[in-house]
Amino acid sequence: MPVELEDYIKEKAALVEEALRGYLDFAAGAPERLAAAMRYACLNGGKRIRPVLMLSVMEILNGYVSQILPAACALELVHSYSLAHDDLPCMDDADLRRGRPACHKQFDEAAALLAGDTLQAYAYEVLIRGCDKAGVEPRRILKLSKELSRASGIYGMAGGQMTDLSGAALALPDLQKMHERKTGALLKYAVLAPLYVAETAKPQRQALNQYAEAVGLAFQIKDDILDVEGTAESLGKTPGKDLDQQKNTYVTLLGLDKARELLRQEMSKAYEAAEFFGARNRLLDIARYLLERKN
């Protein structure tokens, strides 16, 4: 990744990190162990790719970053709760998360469950309180909140997870629907949330919609391809795990060649949409970074 982009991402991620730390610094009297489990689950060295994307879109729309930062934090709180719950024994039963013990290993299952529940509840308080303080109009804050609820609910992340868990073999349209929900919905929220706050014209909205859908889809295909063609060294995990577990992936369904072809198509759509905002811009950089990565 070009150094300049790296700096840009680092700077934006640091902004989000600082805001999250502030929000998770509870007053005396809050149950300490719960607060600690929430911080552990959220302040975990995550790349903050969704919030960074959100702030970048806000900048491209010439909106105030301070007015979207609370939504970026709320989104990350929701993402963090989902990881803490995903790692639980009844779900993925993962002992490690980013090289550290998963939340339920560091604390215990009940604490990880409650920490996740509380992170989700807190997302709405952070969004509403933060946006109100930043002067966002009430009607716009409601839109941000409602769309976060939808993106993480039955038609979004949680619905996609349920379909994924079922383990049934999926046809291509169902596989796409599953991924659109499971990982696509929050990515899409990251790209579209700034539209709910900043003034925008229709062509901008169309470009961002196309960008959000193409990036979301391509991101998942790329993930599936990397699982097959990546080396253990570059991935930092064992490649071929999806194949072994007979998971529904673009590669198992389409084969590697067709999956690559579909990835190329979606990348073109994403880049085309990004270029609406200029021949070189951050959205284009970030799409390239996400879709041309090696791990």
Q: Which residues bind its own copies (CB under 8 A)?
A: 26, 29-31, 33-35, 38, 81-82, 85, 88, 90-91, 108-111, 113-114, 116-118, 120-125, 128-129, 132, 137-139, 141-142, 145-146, 148-150, 152-155, 158-159, 161-163, 165-166, 177
Alpha carbon distance 41, 101 (integer Å): 10
Residue 56 Cβ vs its own copies, minimum distance, rounded to whole Å: 25
CB closer to its own copies, 141 vs 214? 141
Residue 225 Cβ vs its own copies, minimum distance, rounded to whole Å: 26
Residue 7 Cβ vs its own copies, minimum distance, rounded to whole Å: 35
As beta bridge partners, residue 100 has 97
Nearest Cα to 16, choosing from 61, 70, 83?
Answer: 70
- List the Cα angle 59/151/197 in 5-degree steps: 30
- Identify whether the C-beta of residue 273 lies closer than 8 Å to the C-beta of residue 213: no
Residue 113 Cβ vs its own copies, minimum distance, rounded to whole Å: 6
Residue 35 Cα distances to 26, 48, 187, angstroms:
7, 20, 27
Residue 172 Cβ vs its own copies, minimum distance, rounded to whole Å: 16
CB closer to its own copies, 147 vs 227? 147
CB closer to its own copies, 68 vs 141? 141
CB closer to its own copies, 23 vs 219? 23
CB closer to its own copies, 33 vs 241? 33
- Identify whether the C-beta of residue 141 lies closer than 8 Å to the C-beta of residue 85: no
Query: Which residue's entry shows tokens 């470009």?
Result: 207
Residue 188 Cβ vs its own copies, minimum distance, rounded to whole Å: 16
Alpha carbon distance 193, 274 (integer Å): 16
Alpha carbon distance 295, 285 (integer Å): 17
- Residues 6+ away with beta carbon under 8 Å from 99: none
- Identify whether the C-beta of residue 126 lies closer than 8 Å to the C-beta of residue 73: yes
CB closer to its own copies, 133 vs 237? 133
